[in-house]
Every structure is written in C-alpha cells, then in structure tokens.
Amino acid sequence: MKKLKLYEKFIFIINSLMAFALFLSYVLPYIEPKKFAVLSVLSLAVPFLIIVNILFVIYWLLKVKKQLLVSLVVLALGYTYVFSLYKLTSSKNVDDNENISVMNYNVRLFNVFDWIDDPNLRKNMSQFITDKNPDILCMQEYRPDDEINFSAYPYKHIELSGKKVKNGQAIYAKFPIINSGSIEFPNTSNNAIFADIVKGVDTIRVYNLHLESSRIDPNAEEFSKENSQNLFKRVSSTFKMQQSQTEQFLAHKNKSPYKTIISGDFNNTAYSYVYKEIKGDMKDAFKYAGNGFGRTFDFKFFPVRIDFVLVDDAFDINAFKTFDVKYSDHYPVMAKVKLK
C-alpha cells in the first residue's frame, strides 16, 4: 500500500470490499433465507460482483501491481461461480431423432398492458414459438390469448387465477398428458403445476415452477429511484416466501415415481439457496450445453439468469439456447434432452 498513489489506495479499498463481498457470497447457497434473509439478498448481486472483480484484476494487471492477487484469489476460489455466469465453450448442439425439446418462457401476459411498445408483439411472439416448435412448452405469467397460435399442441395443462386478468402457468405438449395437477402456494398467485407426459414407453413428469417475484423493476431509471431500505426489506421477505415455496414443491417432487424435468422462473439466481435446493443432484441444461452469459431477464445493470431447465440423470442434455428476442421482460430458453 505504501507504493500506491492516494487514488490507487482508494481504489484498492473498494477492490477489497468487492472481493470480500464476493467471497461472502460463496456461502449463500447454504444459508436459509428464513434465518438470514438480508444476507441472502446478496445472491442477486453475484453476477455484478464477479464482473467487478474481473475488472479489478485487469486494472491491477495493467498497472503491474500485486494488488491483483486479492480479486484473483477470490475468483479462483469460486471458479465454479465464474463459469456458472459465463460459459466460454460453444453451445452443444447434438441432433438426434430422440431429442425432446423443452422451452421455458415467462411471457408476461403476452404484453396485455403494452409494457413494450410494439403493436406486432403478440403476432411476432406467436411466430417465434411456431418457428422454434418445442415439443414441450412451459410458460409463466400465461393468459389465454387468441392471437397466440398453439394449434401444434394437442395436449395442455393450464392453471389460472385472478379476477380482472386471469393468468398463471401453462404446459403445452405434443405428447399425451395422462395426469396433471397444481401445487398451490399460500398467499400468492404464484404456483407450480405438473404434467405426466408419455413419450414412447416412458412417462416423464414435467414441472412448471414459478417462485415468488421480488418485483424489481428492470428499468434503470425506476430502479435508481428505489429506496434501498425498502428494497432490502421487500426482497428479504420474498426470499423467505421462496424458501417456503421450495420446501412445498420439493415435498411434492420427492413423491414422484417418474423421470423428471423442472422448467421455470425461479425469480432467483444460480447462486441462491432456493436454486441449490431445487437443483439437488439434477443437471442444469445451461451448464451442460449453453454458452455466454445465458441471461434470461432483461435487467439493465448486469446479466441475470433466473429461468432454468433442470433434468434428472435419466436424460442426456444435447442442446441449450437462450433466445435474444424482446417480447417480454424475460428471454425464452430451450433445451434438447434425450432419455438414456
């Protein structure tokens, strides 16, 4: 520190704080939000912390200063975090006639309140789904809309709630659904639904999971106006609800006798307690076959991945893609999986 200029000392102090925050975040998946809700909020900032610490390493490297070791060591200790944020490898894409394509998409009510100023949005979204033609389509914040063409799907399971604008979750499938149902979370319109889908001689249980939203406005201007105390309080409360919802969901899932796919909007990152609990020993399709940041939510400040497709060990993951289409505040993702 003695050889550093005054402004460099200030930068190093900020660097040390960011490195400590990232190091602290490594334990977040193991901390129950019900016990340490405020601390669990830090999981939302992990992508930002990773990017900032990488920038600090580059800064000190260009300065040829040993201070780069602070962030470098912390990043090295959490290398699995770093590669969970950004996949350097190219996307895996194995064509196989036995592939089952699964798309997850939070459709945000098909823009019924014109959040996005585009008169052709529903038409374009319908065409997008038709073009990608997934075998199984899971949607959150779904509402019935005659402008969206689902004629390719003879089977479906939909659960709606609400008075003015009925909305909820939907599963559309090209294969027969022999059983379906809903896991109703208390005191919220969010829930999980499931469908038992027959593919050949196999029955697959597909869950469509929508955990409680933290209601963070992705608009940069609106976000900057947020009162930090209110934001932390609201997000902390949300994470407690998410933990309860996760426990209820897992109690149902653990009774399932079938091979399982979990698709959904977790409203939380891959660095969170709820993600760790839901994932368990399942496989995250992005980690196996995706590339780049894999962001699924249109947040202005840094890439956020909160929408997932998870499969159990009965499946091979042959492809994964995040589509950069602006028809919602979420980006659709699609995995191609094959039964072993």
Tens of pLDDT, residue by residue over 168-222, are 999 999 999 999 999 999 999 899 999 999 999 999 999 999 999 977 665 544 5
The tens digit of pLDDT for each residue in 67-97 reads 999 999 999 999 888 888 888 877 889 999 9
Residue keyed to tokens 């100023």? 117
Whether the model pTM is above 0.85: yes
Please name the amino acid found at residue 14: I
What share of residues in the chain are helix, strand, coil (percent, to 5)? 35, 25, 35
Please name the amino acid found at residue 338: K
In angstroms, rounded to a whole number, what is the distance separating the alpha carbons of residues 329 and 109? 11
In angstroms, rounded to a whole number, what is the distance separating the alpha carbons of residues 294 and 174? 27
The tens digit of pLDDT for each residue in 272-306 reads 999 999 999 999 999 999 999 999 999 877 889 99
The tens digit of pLDDT for each residue in 229-250 reads 677 778 888 999 999 999 999 9
Asked whether the predicted pLDDT for residue 119 surpasses 50, the reply is yes
Residue 211: partners with Cβ closer than 8 Å, 6 or more residues away: 190, 242, 245, 246, 264, 265, 266, 267, 268, 274
Residue 44: partners with Cβ closer than 8 Å, 6 or more residues away: 214, 216, 235, 268, 269, 304
Distances (CA, A) of 95 to 99, 190, 320: 7, 35, 12
168-187: b (≥16 Cβ within 10 Å) or e: bbbbbbbbebeebebbebee
